[in-house]
Amino acid sequence: MTETLRLSLADASALALDAFRRAGLSEAHAQALTETVMAGQRDECHSHGLYRVLGCVRTVREGKVDPQAVPEVKDTAPSIVTVDAHYGYSPLAFRQGLPLLVEKARSQGVAALAINRCFHFSALWPEVELIAAEGLAALALTPSHAWVAPAGGTKGVFGTNPIAFAWPRPGPFPFVFDFATSASARGEIELHRRAGKPIPEGWAIDAEGQPTTDPAAALAGAMLTFGGHKGSALSAMVELLAGPLIGDMTSAESMAFDAGVGAAPCHGELLIALNPASFLGAAAAENIDRAEALFDAILGQGARLPSQRRYQARQRTEASGEIEIPKALYDDLKALLV
């Protein structure tokens, strides 16, 4: 059994923040990264929680990411915002571009935020949740590294290429889904490897193109898309919209840029915000109610909404004021402070 320990939210946040500062990240980057990993840990998304601190620090030490980069926000067009992250981490670039994205979505009805030359490591739901908190619907797309084989193939071409969507709702929690177009997140396989547990069938193939449940063999081979050709097509869409469309790297180009270092992927991200009030005018309230009827129809038959378990975890964590992590992870994090 894996040994675990509990930390207060304040202590866990301080541990992450100290690790980022010790790695040489600017205070603005350290704060933004800490908020991001703590959001994942708070919601019991362990593959995107404190575990990610290790990879972020390693990427800095490998000299790929600029720990002092200052994002540059540009008002590119009436409905387009671009942020040049200047090879820094994406959370700070997103936070600095968000106010102008919201402003444009409210005035234009639809607006897009393109983040270029960023190192992205996190889930997308923290970003679309922040957009939904402004009363806007949101869509986010980003590639990664070419770890994922296309349907019918055996070699990595796509990234895990997540898609996230948020719909604003009354109350504290929007409707949100966030999933990789691969059968699993890369971090899930890495966590299985750290825990010495096999991965489910259908997640990956080994270096010879054969199905495997060995996480180490999976990491040396290729991941698989979910839903076969359907996930493969969606993954290609992400490559195009968050790559060539915004003038940034595909997953294969990002992996070539990495040159075998094993850093976080460097690429672009596309976020789209839509303002229901602009589409609906006086009919906004009526149609928001129709959306709620849809959610009630789902819940009314015993099904659950995406992110429902994550929100329940958030409520538990906030009530207890604590998180639980493997002791091995805690030891690794403490070692970053030496």
Catalytic annotation present for 188: yes
CB 50 within 8 A of CB 58: no
Instruction: Give the DSSP letter of residue 264.
Output: P
- Active-site residue, selected from the candidate residues 13, 120, 145, 188: 188
> Beta-strand (E) ranges in the chain?
4-8, 72-77, 80-89, 110-119, 137-141, 163-167, 175-179, 204-205, 222-223, 266-274, 322-326
User: One-letter amino acid identity for 160?
Assistant: T
CA 170 to chain centre: 24
Which of 294-303's residues contact partners 24+ apart within 8 Å by CB, and which partners?
A: 295/169, 295/175
- Active-site residue, selected from the candidate residues 48, 120, 192, 267: 48
Report the SS3 class of residue 174.
coil
Catalytic annotation present for 47: yes
Owner of token pair 């990234």: 159
- Active-site residue, selected from the candidate residues 26, 44, 47, 79: 47
Backbone angles phi, psi at 122, to 5 degrees: -105, 175
Catalytic annotation present for 29: no
Q: Following DSSP, what letter does each residue of 97-153 receive, concatenated?
A: HHHHHHHHHHHHSEEEEEEEEEE--S-SHHHHHHHHTTT-EEEEE----S-BPPTT-
List residues bridging with 225 in a β-sheet.
182
> Beta-strand (E) ranges in 142-252?
163-167, 175-179, 204-205, 222-223
- Residues annotated catalytic, as ranges: 47-48, 188
